């Protein structure tokens, strides 16, 4: 009975791994609209501790309290309670809803550590954690999209990592979080977080992506954040063979033979006839002399 139970457990684990790694329906990328320009976007407050560097715009709306910059640095534009931030929040709501309603999801649960996932939509009705490493395999497609629909919280452990391989890009990874997201100390995170409530990056957590909070605060602590930019694949030109020119045969002209001159006949001059002198008759005394 125990042996049967172990066999059944192994079969269930294998089935789960195959289901997770075999996401067959392609996910559609999420249009972030005006929110796409932001590396950090909050609703109530943005608070920073330490030497955080934000590579991208930083925005807040409708709240107005942004603290910790400096010592934090924003390599972009700060939009605090202005029209740009307001539009970004509107577009964030639209993007959040698009991400949460994409169909064809593979069901996931618990901890994503140790998994290798292919492009697709993944759904958990409850919370998701990440301990250790998660690998996202683009399978040679730089446009491969990964969408995670998380019903409650997203929590990554200290030192956890998200590894992108075979063309997967952070700009095409989206985490729709039904509550709040917390990134562990010295963890390495990839993708855009679309949080219904708040986002907290603890000490040294680095983010290759965006932290976007619809209704709550963004809290940072010496957390470098870089807004991702998609690398567009350059098509390899089809090599066309250089046509070999057709060589026309060189026609050697047949020389026209020079006409053989016809020898003019040698005209033998007529012999000169020496006139025979008429003998003079002797004068006979008759007639004229």
Kindly report which listed range (23-32, 94-103, 109-118, 264-273) carries the lowest average pLDDT score: 264-273
| Higher-pLDDT residue of 13, 214 | 214
Residue 185: pLDDT band by 50, 70, 90 thresholds? Answer: very high
- Say what the pLDDT of residue 10 is: 40
pLDDT over 50 at 17, yes or no: no
The average pLDDT across 187-203 equals 99
The average pLDDT across 150-179 equals 99
251 alpha carbon, distance to own chain's centre: 56
The average pLDDT across 7-17 equals 43
User: Cβ atoms within 10 A of the Cβ of 140, count?
Assistant: 11
Q: Report whether 145 contacts 26 (CB < 8 A).
A: yes
pLDDT over 80 at 280, yes or no: no
Q: How far apart are CA 43 and CA 218, in angstroms?
A: 8
Mind listing the pLDDT tens digit for each residue in 33-67? 999 999 999 999 999 999 999 999 999 999 999 99
- Say what the pLDDT of residue 151 is: 98
| Higher-pLDDT residue of 195, 16 | 195
pLDDT over 90 at 170, yes or no: yes
- Say what the pLDDT of residue 232 is: 84
Q: How far apart are CA 76 and CA 137, in angstroms?
A: 31
Residue 75: pLDDT band by 50, 70, 90 thresholds? Answer: very high
Q: Report whether 105 contacts 149 (CB < 8 A).
A: yes
pLDDT over 50 at 7, yes or no: no
- Say what the pLDDT of residue 12 is: 41
- Say what the pLDDT of residue 193 is: 99
Q: How far apart are CA 28 and CA 38, in angstroms?
A: 21
- Say what the pLDDT of residue 238 is: 60
- Say what the pLDDT of residue 288 is: 46
Phi, psi of 182 (to 5 degrees): -130, 125
- Say what the pLDDT of residue 265 is: 47
- Residue 262 CB-half CA count within 13 A: 2
Q: By percentage, how much of the chain surpasses pLDDT 70?
A: 72
- Say what the pLDDT of residue 281 is: 46
Question: What is the residue extent of each domain of the chain?
Answer: 26-226
The average pLDDT across 120-146 equals 98
Phi, psi of 243 (to 5 degrees): -65, 140
pLDDT over 70 at 29, yes or no: yes
- Say what the pLDDT of residue 245 is: 55
pLDDT over 80 at 6, yes or no: no
pLDDT over 60 at 284, yes or no: no
């Amino acid at each position: 009975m125990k042996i049967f139970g172990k066999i059944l457990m192994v079969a269930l684990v294998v089935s789960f791994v195959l289901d997770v790694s075999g996401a067959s329906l392609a996910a559609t990328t999420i249009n972030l609209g005006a929110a796409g320009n932001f590396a950090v976007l909050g609703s109530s407050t943005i608070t920073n501790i330490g030497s955080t560097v934000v590579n991208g715009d930083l925005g807040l709306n409708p709240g107005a309290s942004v603290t910790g910059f400096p010592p934090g640095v924003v390599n972009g534009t700060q939009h605090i309670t202005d029209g740009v931030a307001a539009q970004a929040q509107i577009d964030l709501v639209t993007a959040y809803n698009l991400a949460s309603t994409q169909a064809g999801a593979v069901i996931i649960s618990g901890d994503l550590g140790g998994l290798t996932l292919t492009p697709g939509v993944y759904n958990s009705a409850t919370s998701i954690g990440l301990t250790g490493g998660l690998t996202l395999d683009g399978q040679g497609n730089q446009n491969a999209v990964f969408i995670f629909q998380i019903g409650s919280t997203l929590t990554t452990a200290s030192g956890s990592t998200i590894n992108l391989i075979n063309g997967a890009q952070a700009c095409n990874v989206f985490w729709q979080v039904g509550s709040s997201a917390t990134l562990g100390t010295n963890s390495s995170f990839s993708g855009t977080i679309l949080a219904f409530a708040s986002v907290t990056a603890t000490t040294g957590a680095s983010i290759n992506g965006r932290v976007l909070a619809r209704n709550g605060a963004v809290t940072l602590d010496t957390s470098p954040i870089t807004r991702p930019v998609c690398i567009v694949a350059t098509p390899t030109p089809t090599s066309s063979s250089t046509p070999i020119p057709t060589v026309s045969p060189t026609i050697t002209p047949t020389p026209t033979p020079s006409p053989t001159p016809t020898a003019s006949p040698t005209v033998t001059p007529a012999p000169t006839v020496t006139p025979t002198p008429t003998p003079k008759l002797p004068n006979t005394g008759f007639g004229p002399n």
